[in-house]
Structure 1
Amino acid sequence: MAISNKIGLSSDEIRHGVAGALTVLKTWSITDQQILAILGARDLNELKNWVTGQVRNFPADLPHRIGLVSGIHAALRQRTRDNDHAAHWLGKPNASLEGKRPIDVMTGGNVIGLMLVRDHLRGGSSR
């Protein structure tokens, strides 16, 4: 669901935000499909366009998704500095997330899953 850039972000701002999010996501040892779902990209070509700054349109919630990835990363880093441990935590069923793996909650297709994981890590709830 691409929209025109009505919030006034430059292609450089999108490029840098997406590049930063990708740097974090790659430390989590997740698949390209999971990355697409987390950032809300339709396919790898769209993601590549965001990274190279060749973007005129992007999902309205992309900046929010980037911020949530950053928040999840920061909260994970408070728990552990070990990327393997963080990746293990993301892939392990969690009773506080209805028995689902955090990565599955985050890749559910909308920002609410990202918010739930971030808030869980921070010790709060977004419900």
Structure 2
Amino acid sequence: MTNFIEGTTKAAAIRTVMQILEDWQLSERETAAVLGMPSQAALQLANQNEAVELHDISAFDIRLGLILGIQQALSVRYGDQSRANSWVRSFDSAALFNGHRALDLMTGRGLAGLMLVRHFLRNDDLRSA
């Protein structure tokens, strides 16, 4: 089975995702949690100065795709990049979030949390269409 994202495309996806996480103003700990890796590995990935050992590459690739999908859905939903970026940290009354932030779900529930947020945004976009 091939990886979800390969080669130079993967390098570009990693750079893009790291920029998204920076735009979301995530701390090092939050970045590591969203990426599903130890803080030190996430910091190395952000700095791109050292090779990073990724233990479960397919799960990492899935996370990259989900983060890209979340950002795309937010961009469509809000149009304004500043509002799209701030939504991740905003408290939400939707049943899925129960007054918490999407960030709390993504950091606290790991891959499942990312999937839930992406699914929520996709379904919300479909309802709006």
Instruction: Give the structure-2-normalised TM-score.
Output: 0.74
Query: 1:35: Cα distance to partner?
Result: 0.8
Quick one: which of 69, 74, 79 aligns to 1:76? 74
1:46-57 superposed matches below 5 A: 47-49=43-45, 51-52=48-49, 54-57=51-54
Aligned to 1:61, the other structure's residue is in SS state helix
Aligned to 2:75, the other structure's residue is in SS state helix
Whether the 8 Å CA contact 2:70–2:117 is kept in 1: the answer is yes
Whether the 8 Å CA contact 2:32–2:39 is kept in 1: the answer is yes
Query: 1:11: Cα distance to partner?
Result: 6.4
1:123 aligns with 2:116: no
> 1:109, 1:91 → 2: CA distance?
16
**Pairwise CA RMSD:** 2.7
Partner of 1:89 in structure 2? 87
Change (3 A) 1:17 1:49: same
Query: 1:87: Cα distance to partner?
Result: 3.1
Whether the 8 Å CA contact 2:91–2:102 is kept in 1: the answer is yes
Q: Deviations over 1:45-70 (max 9, x none)?
A: 45415845724543240000000000
Q: Which has the higher contact order (CA 8 A, sep 6+)?
A: 1
Query: 1:85: Cα distance to partner?
Result: 1.3
Q: Which runs of 5+ in 1 are unaligned?
A: 1-5
Greater helix share, 1 or 2? Answer: 2
1:9-24 superposed matches below 5 A: 12=8, 14-24=10-20
Whether the 8 Å CA contact 1:15–1:52 is kept in 2: the answer is no
The one-letter amino acid of 1:63's match is D
Change (3 A) 1:44 1:81: farther
Q: Which runs of 5+ in 2 are unaligned?
A: 125-129
